[in-house]
Amino acid sequence: MRALVDDDDSFPSTPGKTKIIDRGGSHHHRHRHSLVFPRHLLWTLLFLAFLASYLSLRSFLHTSSRYLSSSFATLSFDNRVRASAEPTRPDGLVVLVTGAAGFVGSHASLALAKRGDGIVGLDNFNSYYDPSLKKARRSLLSSQGIFVIEGDINDAKLLKRLFDLVSFTHVLHLAAQAGVRYAIQNPDSYVHSNVAGLVTLLEACKNANPQPAVVWASSSSVYGLNDEVPFSEVHRTDQPASLYAATKKTGEAITHVYNHIYGLSITGLRFFTVYGPWGRPDMAYFSFTRNILQKKPITVYRGKDHVDLARDFTYIDDIVKGCVAALDTAEKSTGIGGIKMGPAQYRIYNLGNTSPVTVPTLVSILENYLKVKAKKHVIEMPGNGDVPFTHANITLARVELGYKPKTNLEEGLKKFVKWYLSYYGYSSRKGRNW
């Protein structure tokens, strides 16, 4: 085998080229020694026969080695997926986490892996915000043995391959185009990820055997113009104030269809303004921190009649506990071969903190930790999709999931600021390009 490979080097890489050179050589020989023609013809024929068989052997080896190396590549991808999906505790869950390189997805994946569940992550690493932060989260996950595949939830072939490789018990679907204001700039991205992508993912779940139970992130934004407080799951959600909210509400309707027709077990979680270490740079607490450190002004919106905006800020660890509880209490899907065999669970829960804090209070907590006074630019909230306040009623989640948020905004922001300074360093005071 080795000798063959060495010999290969003396041959041109395309067989056709060898033939041309050889034909020229034989022709020249025939003219010079026409008297010994029959004997030479015999040798020439023998030589050509040898050459032909050698070339076909070489071409066979070349093709099979390509085949072998491509199956090794396939094998290593498949093996990585299988290894990552393997739980390390008895009866551990096997979870496909979409949006695993995102803020909530990375935290949830780590928490699940820590208790011994098998996790496979999927994320398209889009550039809605700095992809290097997503890559850093992926490295963190990788250090814990979690494989995050770079791929899109709209890729039906990839999803099929993953479901063929692994019998996922659950899907924690967190991939989405997040953010309210960005919809003015790029509305298609919301339809791509939050509507089309969701349908592609649910199709894969429906066709999988066994079907996984699906837990996914909706949003408090579905309450839109509802002004009954605190927001309860029974309140109306048919008045969205942004395209983001409309796609999340659409997601609730779409998941209901897959529950109703195909027997998928569905749990929708309406998160309320999640914050914490490894958070999202597009969110106010994050961009305020950056600007305050860089001594740049921050824009603080105010509602009508000078009313301060307020949010039910929820610390990441509390949200993760809610996600894990939702996975643990999810019943199995009932469909087989894409056909519903009986009624399946359909649930929706608020996951908030139940204690809204005004934006000026958020700023003063940050000023205190950063030891820098913010340059506030206070303006009336433009009509770009933001709502004046959010406030969660979490009774249902408390009763059915045992959900009990523990971290208040002061404690949570302290942890965030500590992480921020260690991740970006104090050099962010001079400005950083992200």
Ligand X SMILES: NC(=O)c1ccc[n+]([C@@H]2O[C@H](COP(=O)([O-])OP(=O)(O)OC[C@H]3O[C@@H](n4cnc5c(N)ncnc54)[C@H](O)[C@@H]3O)[C@@H](O)[C@H]2O)c1
Contact mark string toward ligand X, 278..307, x via CB under 6 A: --x---------------------------
> Looking at the annotation, which residues are catalytic?
244
Q: How far apart are the C-alpha atoms of 109 and 115, rounded to whole Å?
A: 10
> Would you count residue 125 as binding ligand X (CB under 6 A)?
yes
Instruction: Write the CA distances from 209 to 153, 162, 334, integer angstroms.
Output: 19, 12, 11
Shortest Å distance, C-beta 79 to ligand X: 22
CB atoms within 10 A of CB 167: 12
Nearest CA to 98 among 75, 64, 122?
Answer: 122
Cβ-proximal residue to ligand X, closest one: 102
Using the rule CB under 6 A, which residue among 152, 233, 252, 318 binds ligand X? 152
Using the rule CB under 6 A, which residue among 182, 271, 288, 315 binds ligand X? 271
Instruction: Write the CA distances from 111 to 54, 122, 137, 393, integer angstroms.
Output: 58, 16, 13, 25
Which region among 60-68, 96-104, 297-305, 366-374 touches ligand X (by CB under 6 A)? 96-104
Using the rule CB under 6 A, which residue among 92, 99, 276, 412 binds ligand X? 99
> Would you count residue 124 as binding ligand X (CB under 6 A)?
yes
> Would you count residue 177 as binding ligand X (CB under 6 A)?
yes
Which region among 170-178, 325-333, 383-391, 412-420 touches ligand X (by CB under 6 A)? 170-178
Residue 271 per-residue DSSP state? E
Cβ atoms 376, 363 nearer than 8 A: yes
| Rg of the chain in Å (alpha carbons) | 30
Q: How far apart are the C-alpha atoms of 15 and 58, rounded to whole Å?
A: 10
Shortest Å distance, C-beta 134 to ligand X: 5
Shortest Å distance, C-beta 232 to ligand X: 17
Closest to ligand X by CB, 176 vs 300, is 176
Site for ligand X in 210-229 (CB under 6 A): 217, 219
Using the rule CB under 6 A, which residue among 274, 300, 362, 392 binds ligand X? 274
Using the rule CB under 6 A, which residue among 95, 96, 97, 104 binds ligand X? 104
Site for ligand X in 351-380 (CB under 6 A): none
Taking every pair of Cα atoms in the chain, the longest distance, rounded to a whole number of angstroms, is 113
**Secondary structure (3-state) at 218:** strand
Exposure string (b/e) for 52-90, b if CB count within 10 Å is 16 or more?
Answer: eeeeeebeeeeeeeeeeeeeeeeeeebeebeebbebeee
Cβ atoms 131, 123 nearer than 8 A: no
Q: Which residues bind ligand X (CB under 6 A)?
A: 98-99, 101-105, 122-126, 134, 152-154, 174-178, 193, 197, 217, 219, 271, 273-274, 280
